[in-house]
A = this chain, B = another copy of it.
Amino acid sequence: MDTHDLVAVSERRQKHVERVLAAFFSDSHYRAKALGAPYERLWETLERNASGGKRFRPRMVMAAYESLGGTDHDAAAHIGAAFELLHTALIVHDDVIDRDFVRRGGPNVSGRYRDIATTAGIPLPVAEHRGMSVAIIAGDLALFNSYRLIDRSGVDGLLRTRLHDILDEAMFVSAAGELYDVDFSIRSDPPTVDEIVEMERLKTAGYSFEGPLVAGSVLAGAEPAAVDALATFGRDIGIAYQIVDDLLGVFGDESDTGKTTLGDLREGKRTVLLAHATAQPEWAEVSGLFGSPDLTEADAARIRSVLESAGSRRFAEALARDFANRAWEALVNDSLPDSVREEFRPIVASVLGRVR
């Protein structure tokens, strides 16, 4: 397939997922309306928070499914939408845990409800807690309903139970990763590279890559060896992706990534890059700057320079490459048809293309 076809396929999948989610939210609005206007507004806010993304997880489900020969696009779009809603739920609650009130440049659920309260004259700490409280409720709704989207897929019997099990496992693993992330934030000693990799595998890679790929292949009726190969691919490419994401958060081109490269440094985000750096003697020069909320562009430049000279950038890039190569090896497996490799080669290439 040439690039033009790839883009067309990806857009077709994304549009299909959008339709499934729009139908779900439309039904939910209708149900919420009967319980009062404020509840309807909460659902509108949740829908707005769930939109605008690239529908990455659904596209993973559909890519695995279609490349393994699946033809029930609507079922795959519903299973994909279930992972998307799980993602929304986890993000909304993660923002409460991180006390973030902004996402993608606009207010998130917490931010929107905090702002409504401050506009009504409520003092900021009370308004913030109110925003976080509503976000807990909104995340609960997204979480509970992610399960129901599988029920709306038209799949039933044992296959539906297996898909429920896969979504369940994805959520179960992500909760463990979130717990470890919370633990890191209050620990006095910085986490090691291995601990960060494990946390990122659990918290993000599981439900973003492995779970969707396993769901798509199971839905396609793939044999166990093929499902396992895609699971391994998902785990490794997911970690590679996360490391690249963390690198871009510090060294990326803002006009390209669309987000500031100061955010992660101000927040003191725990990444592979930083786990490597904090173990090097050079780190002492800048450790006081890292995690400071009023870090300047000049401070950031000093930190970046230490990350380069201490070899942390090189280390993280090599690790991402290793995981991406290992992921590719998992796909070189007799149980998988060429169409699977054709489908996922661009993803591996995109990861490798973003590290030097």
Could you list which residues of chain A lie within 8 angstroms of chain B, going by C-beta atoms? 31-32, 35-36, 38-39, 42, 89, 93, 96-97, 99, 117, 120, 122, 126-127, 129-130, 133-134, 136-137, 139-141, 143-145, 147-148, 151, 156-157, 161, 164, 168, 171-173, 175-176, 178-180, 182-183, 185-186, 202
Instruction: Return the contact of A36 from the options B129, B145, B164, B180 (Cβ within 8 A).
Output: B180
Copy number in this complex? 2
> Given A35-B176, A39-B176, do A97 and B133 touch, yes or no (CB 8 Å)?
yes
> Given A35-B202, A151-B161, A151-B164, do A93 and B186 touch, yes or no (CB 8 Å)?
no
Q: How many angstroms from the CA of A93 to the CA of B138 in the assembled complex?
A: 12
| A39 engages B179 (CB within 8 Å) | yes
Q: Which residues of B contact A182 (CB under 8 A)?
A: 130, 133-134, 137
Q: Which residues of B contact A31 (CB under 8 A)?
A: 172
| A36 engages B141 (CB within 8 Å) | no
**Which residue of chain B has the shortest Cβ distance to A90 in the bound complex?**
B140
Q: How many angstroms from the CA of A105 to the CA of B215 in the assembled complex?
A: 44
Q: For the A-B complex with A39-B176, A144-B171 known, give 4 more contacts whose Cβ atoms are closer than 8 Å.
A: A36-B180, A130-B186, A141-B172, A144-B144
A28 smallest CB distance to B (angstroms): 8
A121 smallest CB distance to B (angstroms): 8
Q: Which residues of B contact A93 (CB under 8 A)?
A: 136-137, 140
> Given A126-B186, A130-B186, A148-B164, do A136 and B39 touch, yes or no (CB 8 Å)?
no
A167 smallest CB distance to B (angstroms): 9
| A148 engages B134 (CB within 8 Å) | no
Instruction: Return the contact of A175 from the options B129, B137, B164 (Cβ within 8 A).
Output: B137
Q: How many angstroms from the CA of A117 to the CA of B175 in the assembled complex?
A: 19
| A32 engages B176 (CB within 8 Å) | yes
Q: Which residues of B contact A35 (CB under 8 A)?
A: 173, 176, 202
